[in-house]
Every structure is written in structure tokens, then in C-alpha cells.
Chains A and B, each alone.
Chain A
Amino acid sequence: MSLTGTSIGASFEDDPEFAAAEGEETAKIEGRSTWQLAWARLKRDRAAVISFVIIVLIVLMAIFAPLVATITGHGVNQQFRTTGLNTFGLPVAPGKTFWLGTDDLGRDILVRVAYGARISLEVGVLATLITVAIGAALGLAAGYLGGLVDTVIARLVDLILSLPYLLFAISLVSISKPGMKIVIIVIALFGWAAVARIVRGQVLSIREKEYIEAARSLGASSWRIMLVDILPNVTAQLIVYATLLIPVSIVAEASLSFLGLGIPPPTADWGQMLAEAETIYQQAWWFLVFPGLALLITTLAFNILGDGVRDALDPRFDRL
């Protein structure tokens, strides 16, 4: 939406954008949407911008993991029994050949950390998308439709939120075929309830607004009201929640793999690398430190970005 006006521009003299336009015959004033305002605020948040850059770098590392393998000349599952292990059969320290050292089987840790980023990001993003989609759909239905639908969904939410989730997660994973699919399913299965609870609460208050009544009296269907009139008003919260859910999902996947119940070997995965490091870290600190750092930097970057997105979309809690 854009407005045109001649006299209004004068009142915005402090703002360089408007001051520049002042001389023109018709100064063009653009109304900025919530999203544009949020974007402008987010760009000013230095920590969030740095985190975003770090996330982009991690994504690039994941995409170009094969390139890292080519440059170093070390395949992701290639075991270097002679160069990668010393005479005692122990991993070699970071150096010229292996920049971040090797693991207990003589594999290049740098290459494996790069490949591990693929699993973490894939699980983190996919699990979050599924979690938020299910949570939003059920939260919308419960909040708007009410009645029996609400009762059933609300009880289900209560049930899931009072389960010791990691215990249930490892139980479920243990009876399934190990792999990425079951890890994502388990994360979504226990994660949607929190999203549904938030969305339901929001919908309950939006439902009573006049414009919803207006839509209803114009003959809009429940589907239309839920998707066109209500959903856009909870999107901001969903985006904040999704950003903060990605690191939670990444840690959940890494935890399952650490316990030996996530991504099966030999696939390179951060949690699994740390589990392997557990037996030998005294002799090879790099085997513990580098996958650990990769995991920490990734979750930290997403959390800082998430905080930034929240502050940008919800300026009421400005730097609370």
C-alpha cells in the first residue's frame, strides 16, 4: 500500500528518507507493513545479524560438504589407518594433513563435521516445520471450533505435555528402524502440543473480535475464517516459535544419536561423533571439542536469531 501526499512529508524532517523526498513535487510516503517494520528492526540488531551470517555459513558448509572432502582429499567415511592413526593406533592431532585431527578410526574430523551439519540442519528444519504445521492446525481447530474438538485436542495436549518426553522418545525409536525419519517423527510427535497450546490461546481471543463476526455474518465458511482471517494473525508468533524450535530439534536429534538411538553409523552426525569421542577424549581432545563446538555454535546462533526475531516482531517487550 502506498500513499501520496505533498504536505505530510514536512513533518518527518528528522528522517533522512523523508527529508530527501521533500524537494520533490509529490513526496511518496510508503506505509510500512508489520513485516517491513520488523525487518528494519531486525537489521539494526547486531547480534541477530551476526547470528544470521553464521547460520548462512553453516548452511553453506552443509551444502558444500563434498567440496570440503575434495579439498582435503579425505572421504567422509574413509579410514586412514596409516596416516590418520599414530603408531599406538590413536587419533592424530590437528595438523597439516588433518586440519581438525582424526577420530578413533582415522577419519578426518573436519570432513565429518561438515557432513554432520547436513543431518543437523535437515532434522532441525524438517522437524520444526512438521511440528509447527501440526501444532498450528490443531491449535486453530481447537480454538475456533470449540466443543468436542477442543476438549479432545486440549486433553491430548495435556497428556503429551505431562509425559517424560525423552524417555518416550527413546522407547519409540528403539522399536523402529533407526534413521532420520523416525527421529523427525518423534520430535514432531512430542513438540506439536506446545505450539497447539499457544495457537489455541491466541485463537480464543481473536475469535471474539468483531471482524470475525463480520466475516461470519457475510457467510464465510469456518475454513475460510480459520485460514484467511485468523491464521495470518498468529503467523508472527509461529515464526518466533519456529526459529526457537530449530535449535531444540537439533539438540534433540544430537541427544538421540548420542544415546545410540538416532542416526546409525557410519553416517557422520555430531551427536554420534560425541558418543564415539566419549571413550577416547582423554587421548584426543579434538574429537570432543570440534563436533561439540559445531553443535554449540549452531544452537547458539539460532537462539540469538530467535530472540532477535521475537524482539523485532513484538516491540512491546523491547529488550526486556
Chain B
Amino acid sequence: MIRFLIRRILLGIFVMWMVTVMVFGIFFVGPGPGDVARRIAGKDATPQTVQLIMERLHLNQSLFVQYWDFVKQLVWHHNLGYSYYHQEPVSTVLKAAFPITFSLAIGSAVIWLVLGVFSGVVSAVRRGSIWDRLATILALFFYSMPTFVLGLLLLYAFSYQFALHGIHLFPGQGYVYFTASPVKWFESLVLPWITLALISAATYTRLTRGSLLEVLGEDYIRTARSKGLTERRVIYRHGLRSALTPVVSQFGIDVGTLLGGAIITEQVFGMPGLGYTAVNSIEQQDLPVIIGIVIIATAAVVVANIVVDLLYAVLDPRVRLH
């Protein structure tokens, strides 16, 4: 178990290292030498301005020096650098964006987990029933639905059309901080939550249904039934426990990925979280901020992967043996 954990952590460190190399490659080597400064300076900048920018941002030093400086700052000082555009530390920019992404991710995760697992269990237990068919069709529908299509349709129906009829329940785009007004915060999040939750829940319905059906066919379920346990106990205590293992691992990775920014949802609903900031920073050529977000987002996925593997061992005793 300890050895397994160490191996996973080493793999995580390897991934993080490769990611710093890759983002450096993409943004500093990809466009060619001098191009970074030229892009920041704008189209009409004089060569002197470009030169000045290169000096100020240390872009005239060799790539290895730049990379080494970056890693040194990151590892020793936990410093992600300084935003070209916002003129403040990257960590300040990210700290402002993270609570928004966090509110969005956690809220929708709770909704989709409940929705997905519940409908998946109903589908599997009442296999072939009208509920099963309905859940399967809805799951396929939302599974195929692009996030921005659903988001925009919800905005049109529940924000715009409601407002036309005098119901101002859901604001259009934008985000209200919890500290500013908890009620407004909630209202601004309802539609983004539903958008993300409906699309993600579809995967969980399919996953839970398939997994539970497979488990219910196993020998130990027959044993549990023949012991005279009630059907409810057989399904929920014996069946669901191991059927949920793949669901838990999918959930961990999905939440981890989401914490690095729900790019499309944030864009549609105009919420300045990590994903929105990333897209804006790309337009502004604000490299330190993009690199910072990529690193935070990858770290979230890496940590989620390790947590999932640990949970796996806790949930399924068979894993511990290997």
C-alpha cells in the first residue's frame, strides 16, 4: 500500500514536471524568439519598446535561465510570477478567480452526483421499466448536449423569457460574491450549476446503471439473497457498495478537472473563474497567468487521481492485496 502510494506520488511529480516543460515550450519556444515581447507590446510598438519589454520581463535571457528561474520561484518561494496585464502577482489573480470556480464546481458536483446515482440505481433496479427507459433516453440526450448549447438555451428560457414575463429569478450573466449577498450569490449560480450538473449527471446515470447491473449478477449477491436478506438490503448494502467504486473514481477525477476551471460554463455565464481568466489571458497574451492556471489545474487533477486511488483501496478490499 505504502509502495503503491509512493509510486503514485512519484508519477504525479513527473506529470507536474512535464507540464512545466510543456507550457514553457508552448508559450516561449512555440512563437519564436522575440515574438512574446512583440505580442505584448502590440502591433504599433517601436523596436525600442519591444527591447524594453524583453529586458523587463527577462525575455532576453536564455530559455534555460528563464525556465530555471521559473521553477526556482515556484518550488522555493511558491511564487507563480507577475501578471503582465493585471500588473499584480499571478497568485493574486488566481486567488480572486478560484472561489468562483470552486462555488461552481462543488455545487454542480453535489447535484449531478445525487441525480446521476439516483437515476442510475432506479434504472438498474427497475430494469426495462418506463423509468429505466426515460432515464436512459434523458442520459443519452444530455450526454450528447454541448455545454454551451444547454447553457445558452437555459439563459434564454429562464433568464430572458422569465424576465420578459416579470419573473426576475435568475440573473443573466455575471457572478455575485457570497460575501456581497448570499441570496444573489445563489441566484447567480443556479443556472450554471444546472447546466454543468445535467450534462455530467448523464455520464453517472450510465455508469451507475451499468456497474450496478453487473454487480447484481455476481455470486455474492445470490448468497446475500439466499441468506434471506430483504431485497432493499441486498441492493443498497451489498450491491451498491461495490457498484459505486467506478462512480467514485470518475467523480474524483471530474471534480479535480473542474477545479482547474470550467472553461465553457464560465464563459457562457460570464463568471470570472479560472477558466474564464485562462481564456482572457490567452487573448491578452498574459503568459504568467496562463502558465499559473495550467499548473494549478494540472495539480488539481494529479491530486484528485491520488485521492481516488486511495479511496479505491478503502472501498474495495480486493485492491489492497495488490
Contact = CB atoms under 8 A, between A and B. Distances in A.
B221 interface: no
A159 B18 contact: yes
Interface in A148-171: 155, 158-159, 162-164, 166-168, 170-171
A208 to B, nearest CB: 19
A158 B11 contact: yes
Contacts of A296: 144-146, 149
B294 A168 contact: yes
B298 interface: yes
Interface string B290-305: 1001100110111001
A170 B149 CA distance: 19
Q: Determine the interface band of chain B, counting residues with CB < 8 A from chain A.
A: 35 or more
A50 B96 CA distance: 49
A255 B27 contact: no
Contact of A288 (B14, B156, B283, B301): B156
Interface in B192-217: 209-210, 213-214
A203 to B, nearest CB: 21
Contact of A254 (B146, B153, B282): B146
Contact of A259 (B146, B149, B263, B302): B263
A259 B267 contact: yes
B9 to A, nearest CB: 13
Interface in A82-114: none
Contacts of B251: none
B140 A167 contact: no
A162 B305 contact: yes
B40 interface: no
B149 A167 contact: no
B156 A167 contact: no
Interface of A: 155, 158-159, 162-164, 166-168, 170-172, 174-176, 247, 251, 254-255, 258-261, 271, 274, 277-278, 281-282, 285, 288-289, 292, 295-296, 299-300, 302-304, 307, 317, 320
23 contacts: A163-B298, A164-B260, A164-B261, A164-B297, A167-B275, A167-B294, A170-B263, A171-B23, A171-B282, A171-B294, A254-B146, A254-B148, A255-B146, A278-B152, A288-B153, A292-B149, A295-B149, A296-B144, A296-B145, A299-B144, A300-B140, A307-B140, A320-B213
